[in-house]
Amino acid sequence: MAEVIAIDGGYKLNGTVRISGAKNATVALIPAAVLSEGPVEILGVPEISDVAALATLLKELKCDVEIDGERIKIDPTHMEDIALVSDAVNKLRASYYFMGALLGKYKRVKIKMPGGCYLGPRPIDLHLKGFEALGANITYENDTYLLEAKELIGTSIYLDFASVGATINIMLAAVKAKGKTVIENAAKEPEIIDVANLLTKMGAKIRGVGTDTITIDGVEHLNGTFHEIIPDRIEAGTFLIIAAAAGEKVIVQNIIPQHLEALISKLKEMGIQMDVVGDSIVVYGREGDLKPVNIKTQIYPGFATDLQQPLTTLLTQASGDSHVKETIYIERFKHCPQLNKMGAHIDLKEAESIIHGATQLHGTRVEATDLRCGAALVVAGLIAQGRTEITNVYHIDRGYDNIDHKLITLGAHITRYHIDE
């Protein structure tokens, strides 16, 4: 039995939606908590399946875990150095953050190769290069990594690519290393700043987060603390796109607008009317033709790769040709054949799509091949004629907290049911 989200299109959305805590921060903050010697309480945790998967891994490590709505309490007091080789690791790419955290805590970690959405090559070479520079010896056998170090010694590490995952993972390993670690060409995403803020509250000494160069002075002890997660800029961006596509007047609350400047400027360029009011953005229904725009994904603060897929759906409604160039994950175009099944006219080249608009979309059965493809299909379902059935919805549930309920509250017609595969 497979679960399906069905959307009856054409209903205008109105009202207020509140954005949850950042998925991409949460999946790093939870492994970071194991570095503590006391309980860590994190507020604003999104209710997504990735959090449940991380909680399973924490319990395998003998941590006490309590989840109560948007709050998670992690107590690593009785934690043990146990190999992470269960199937739960394979299902979750972000489980690789346990590499840095456990290496930092125990100077050794045994972990299966982490999984996640397939978006083309996403090697963890930069992570491993960083761990080796800190003094770890790495072996790989039967899909399992073994990282061991007599001790971790601070050093200077240059990242060939400003990778979010590698920046965070090296930071997790370095906070308890001896001496000073300098990460050069570090990524600058807000989620990295959020993880550094948690570690700093725990007693870590980190400077320069949000710039190209992060400096970490190792400490011996990290303590329990309390932390509230930043809002999810990708969920926020997705709802801004949904409001632009299908809304009359939609207020998106709990946003940090400067995290979304690249998207906001593109939506305005298309002709979408919106007002920024504190930590909310009001989006007004589209009137007249939307203008086509060109998008090139870039590392932060450029246009987010995670938002090009949902935005592609909106671009099918613009009069003229729009181009999307992908520089982060070159295979991130699996949503395009699905949108074409619904009546879109999208041509694919290598790492690029050309969207010929405007086209009327029609409901049919489509497949969420990955998380943000699922988001693109939700946007499509809301503006399509008739009923859209989206399969493989577990991808959507990995990254969006209660998306059905939030959309229903705005006036969307959405149901979930099971079908025989």
**Which amino acids are annotated catalytic?**
117
For residues 354 and 333, is the Cβ–Cβ distance under 8 A? no
Show the tokens assigned to 43: 């507020």
β-pairing, 365-367 vs 352-357, is unpaired
DSSP type of residue 60 = H
Which amino acid is located at 144 in the chain?
Answer: T
Helix axes 233-246, 305-315, angle to 10 degrees: 0
Residue 328 labeled ligand binder: yes
Cα distance between residue 419 and residue 186, in whole Å: 45
Cα distance between residue 19 and residue 281, in whole Å: 11
Which amino acid is located at 330 in the chain?
Answer: I
Task: Give the CB-side neighbour count of residue 339, counting CA atoms within 13 A.
Answer: 37
Q: Which residue has the tokens 């992470």?
A: 84
Residue 23 labeled ligand binder: yes
Residue 125 labeled ligand binder: yes
For residues 57 and 85, is the Cβ–Cβ distance under 8 A? no
Residue 24 labeled ligand binder: yes
β-pairing, 13-18 vs 247-253, is parallel
Walk across the sheet containing 213-217 and list its strands: 156-158, 180-184, 213-217, 205-207
For residues 166 and 28, is the Cβ–Cβ distance under 8 A? no
Query: Who's near 59: CB < 8 A, 6+ residues apart?
Result: 65
Residue 371 labeled ligand binder: no
Cα distance between residue 381 and residue 385, in whole Å: 8
Bond into 358 cis (ω within 30): yes
Helix (H, G, I), strand (E, B) or coil at 358: coil
Cα distance between residue 291 and residue 137, in whole Å: 54
Task: Give the CB-side neighbour count of residue 199, counting CA atoms within 13 A.
Answer: 33
For residues 68 and 41, is the Cβ–Cβ distance under 8 A? no
Of 101, 403, 117, 107, give the one whose Cα is nearest residue 235.
403
Residue-wise burial string across 170-182, b where 16 or more C-beta atoms lie within 10 A, e elsewhere? bbbbbbbbeeebb
Residue 124 labeled ligand binder: yes
Query: Which residue positions form the known binding site for phosphoenolpyruvate?
Result: 23-24
Query: Which residue positions form the known binding site for UDP-N-acetyl-alpha-D-glucosamine?
Result: 93, 122-126, 306, 328
Query: Which residue positions form the known binding site?
Result: 23-24, 93, 122-126, 306, 328
